[in-house]
Chain A
Amino acid sequence: MEKTMALLEIKNLHASVAGNQILKGINLTINPGEVHAIMGPNGSGKSTLSNVLAGNEAYEKTQGEILFQGKNLDDLAAHERACAGIFLAFQYPVEIPGISNMYFLKAAVNAVRESRGEEPLDAMDFLDLVEEKKKMVQIRDDLLERAVNSGFSGGEKKRNEIFQMAMLEPRLGILDETDSGLDIDALRIVSDGVNALRGSDRGFLVITHYQRLLDYIVPDFVHVLVNGQIVKSGGKELALELENEGYASWNGEQQ
Chain B
Amino acid sequence: MKSETEKGFDGLADGEYKYGFVTDIESDSLSPGLNEGVVREISRRKQEPEWLTEWRVKAYRHWTTLEQPTWAKVEFPPIDYQAVSYYSAPKQKIDAPKSLDEVDPELLETYEKLGIPLREQEALAGVVAVDAVFDSVSVATTFKGKLEEMGIVFCSFSEAVKEHPELVKKYLGSVVPYKDNYFATLNSAVFSDGSFCYIPKGVRCPMELSTYFRINAANTGQFERTLLIADEGATVSYLEGCTAPQRDENQLHAAVVELIAHKDAQIKYSTVQNWYPGDKDGKGGIYNFVTKRGHCRGDHSKISWTQVETGSAITWKYPSCILKGDHSVGEFYSVAVTNNLQQADTGTKMIHIGKNTSSTIISKGISAGRAQNSYRGMVKVVEGAENARNFSQCDSMLIGDRCGAHTFPYIDINNPTAQVEHEATTTKIGEEQIFYCNQRGLDTEEAVNLIVNGFCKEVFKELPMEFAVEAQKLLGISLEGSVG
- Do A and B touch each other in the complex, judged by CB within 8 A? no
User: Which residues of A are in contact with B by a Cβ distance under 8 Å?
Assistant: none
